[in-house]
Structure 1
Amino acid sequence: MYINATGFYVPEARVDNQHFLELNGLTSEWIEQRTGIRTRAIAKPEENINTMSMEAIRNALPLLPYDITEVDLIISASYSPYDTVATAAHKAQFEFNIENAKALYLSSACSSFLNALEVVEGYFAMGKASKALILGADKNSAYWNETDPKAGHLWGDAAAAFFISKERITEKDPEIIEIYTQGLGYLPKAPEAVHLRPRDGGIMMPEGRDVFIQACTYMPKNVLFLLEKNGYTLNDLSYFIGHQANMRIMPNIAKQLNLPEEKFLHNIEELGNTGSVSSALVYAQNAHTFKKNDLIALTVFGGGYSTGACLIKC
């Protein structure tokens, strides 16, 4: 599979750490020390994952080497839907007149984007699609509880759009070498570690410590698995893009793998934890800087639990 174009949308508004002092008693210094977050991107009240996804598509269109109406599969990947019936996938089909596409919604916590990539791979393998559009987006601020001292200060909003083809369209198309995902719902604290219950407290992370430990375990483990399986070593890796859950995860993994921290791309310090779109968003924001033959790993860990990784060769 090949990446034909990427786009993203990040709301302009930022909420800094000082905002939370009166709400949950956490100082700006404490939040930054524990999470690495200084500000977070917050969507306007009238924005949602559907509107943000449309903006991400518009951002990608100038780079798309074919007409968007050629897309025959659209997947919205998110855990914070605005509408669970007319999803962002259906909205895109309407907005851009993509008549001959299947449209569906997929949710698997913070691994939703990588699971969507794997679903696209399946459709391509079955011969049921050849050009796909994945919309990754979360509006965490629609569900956050700002007074929650455990996780109320973590969340940000954003969207990304990835156009994927079965065959290479142009010589510049990065290749998705392999995708790997895994459900980890059998782990002891998995079902309750992170949850989003719209009418019962919103988005919460009561087991943040366990989430941190598991993320530091599975994100590097999955990258190593894919590198070895495909005949690469860590020395071949140009960039490591992890789920943007906590900045402290990055140096932890860097130490485990003995990788220089400059190989780790991130945006959490400015945008906060943007949820299931976070790793895809980092890739899209940096796509213009990648060079031919760069090898990039995307790796995620999310509530539920769920995990996954993929290798991309530019």
Structure 2
Amino acid sequence: MIRRAVVLGTGSALPARAVSNDELAGQVDTSDEWIRERTGIRTRYIAGEGETTSTLATGAARQALDAAGLEASDIDLIILATATPDQTFPATATKVQADLGIADCVAFDVAAVCSGFLYAVTVADSMIRSGAANRALVIGSETFSRILDWEDRGTCVLFGDGAGAMVLAAEESENGERGILAAKLHADGRHNQLLYVDGGPSTTGTVGKLRMKGQEVFRHAVVNLASVLQEVLALADMTAADIDWVVPHQANARILEGTARKLGLAREKVVMTVDQHANTSAASVPLAFDLAVRDGRIKRGDVVVMEAMGGGFTWGACLLRY
């Protein structure tokens, strides 16, 4: 028998306030046309008073549990991917655990920025395969609006807030066709200064603001994402022709289109939500996955590949049969 982590349910949560490009243009030197042409973004959601990384994560988690037909008490592992935790410590995952009313389970955060959800899914998959966990709640949640420099039009227009969640559970079968089939992660810390936050508890004692060299990040992203997608396909003994859907990190419409071209994939197979949510960092992949499940695009039995690249640099891909 083969033991795999299968996706039982997905969920998502967004702040109440949607902010259009035109609204941003009234605050910084930009325009709707400038943003759309360069990024594909039309709107994003910004967290307000009382909305935090943990409240958004809990909302997404509740939706995922409902979709999976499980109670919170059924969960024995929570992994939360975030670069914007509620506090330096404890882990925001433990706040979600408490909010869900779970008395005891393994709960911790993963910090890999935009690749965080892929890192979290891969860790959860490993723990489920090994028997260390049976039912996992994997969440990506961010309030990036709180680390943006709102005077820097090159970055503040790109990001938004939100959360996405996925319930993974152990399933044993003879062929092991359903569930997570393969995953591959990478990191290269030599590129720290291309995408980073200029603060931290151990350095400045402040939260800091996001800084990015966009053109160089774009160049690395297209190459790295196409490469890791090929790697994960090879691990599963599949080709691009076997893919039903690509659910990528929603950083920039041009990066998504460039990656699809390198793989020879039709644009129609790429789930794109960057126009609605902007870049929500670790939340972007699970947000997009949940949207495509709920609107009927991703169906049971479909082969889906998720991929992302973020600050660090970190990048990775995960292939699953939904």
TM-score, structure 1 length as denominator? 0.92
Q: Does the CA contact (< 8 Å) of 2:11 and 2:62 recur in 1?
A: yes
How far is 1:96 from its partner? 2.3
Which residue pairs with 2:196 in the alignment? 195
Q: 1:232 aligned to 226, 229, 238, which one?
A: 238
Tell me if the contact between 1:301 and 1:308 (Cα under 8 Å) persists in the aligned partners.
yes
For the pair 1:291 / 2:292, whether they are aligned, the reply is no
32-41 vs 279-288, which moves further: 279-288
Q: Is the 8 A contact 1:110 1:302 kept in 2?
A: yes
Quote the offset at 1:125 in angstroms: 4.1
Find out whether 1:301 has 2:305 as its counterpart.
Answer: no
Q: Distance in 2 between matches of 1:312 and 1:145?
A: 37
Looking at structure 1, the residues matched to 69 and 156 of structure 2 have their Cα atoms a distance apart, in angstroms, of 41
Q: 1:244: Cα distance to partner?
A: 0.7
Separation in structure 2 between the aligned mates of residue 43 and residue 16 of structure 1, nearest angstrom: 14
Alignment CA distance shift 1:67-1:200 (3 Å): closer
Larger displacement relative to structure 2 (138-147 or 9-18): 9-18
1:6 maps to which of 10, 13, 20: 10
Kindly report which structure 2 residues correspond to 1:107-256, keeping only aligned pairs within 5 A, or say none.
107-167=111-171, 175-186=179-190, 190-197=191-198, 199=206, 201-205=208-212, 207-256=213-262
Q: Is contact 1:152–1:204 with CA below 8 Å preserved after alignment?
A: no
- Among the aligned pairs, what percent are the same residue? 29
Q: CA contact under 8 A between 1:2 and 1:168: conserved in structure 2?
A: no
User: How far 1:174 sits from its partner (Å)?
Assistant: 5.3
Residues 5 and 63, structure 1, Cα contact 8 Å, conserved in 2: yes
* Counterpart residue identity of residue 253, structure 2: M
1:197-232 CA distance string (max 9 Å, x none): 453751221x11111111111112111111122121
Structure 2 CA distance for aligned equivalents of residues 99 and 125 of structure 1: 24
Q: CA deviation at 1:55?
A: 0.8
Amino acid at match of 2:192: P
CA distance in 1, matches of 2:243, 2:19: 34
Question: Which moved further from structure 2: 13-22 or 302-311?
Answer: 13-22
**Which residue in 1 is equivalent to 2:203?**
none
Which amino acid is 1:237 matched to?
Answer: I
**Amino acid aligned to 1:217:** V
State the SS of the aligned residue for 1:114.
helix
Report what 1:94 is aligned to: 98
- 2:237 maps to a residue whose letter is G
Letter in 2 for 1:257: L
- Aligned AA for 1:251? E
Q: Secondary structure at the match of 1:8?
A: strand
- Separation (CA, whole Å) in 1 of partners of 2:112 and 2:37: 29
Report which stretch shifted further, 112-121 or 17-26.
17-26
**Letter paired with 2:14:** V
Structure 1 stretch displaced more, 281-290 or 61-70: 61-70
RMSD over aligned CA atoms reads: 1.9
- Deviation string, structure 1 residues 80-134 (Cα, Å, up to 9, x no partner): 1112323331122212232231111110111111111122133234432221111
Deviation string, structure 1 residues 141-199 (Cα, Å, up to 9, x no partner): 11111210221111111101211112269xxx95111111111223xxx1111112453
Q: What secondary structure sits across from 1:226 in the alignment?
A: helix
**CA shift in 2, pair 1:44/1:245, >3 Å:** same
Q: How many residues align?
A: 307
- Secondary structure class of the residue paired with 1:155: coil
Where 1:24 maps in the other structure, the secondary structure is: coil
CA 61–126 in structure 1, closer or farther in 2 if over 3 Å, else same: closer
Residue aligning to 1:84: 88
8 Å Cα contact 1:179-1:308 kept in structure 2:
yes
| Alignment partner of 1:55 is 2:53 | no
Measured in 1, the distance between the counterparts of 2:274 and 2:46 equals: 13
- 1:275 is aligned to 281
> Which amino acid letter does the alignment assign opposite residue 292 of structure 2?
N
CA distance in 1, matches of 2:121, 2:36: 32
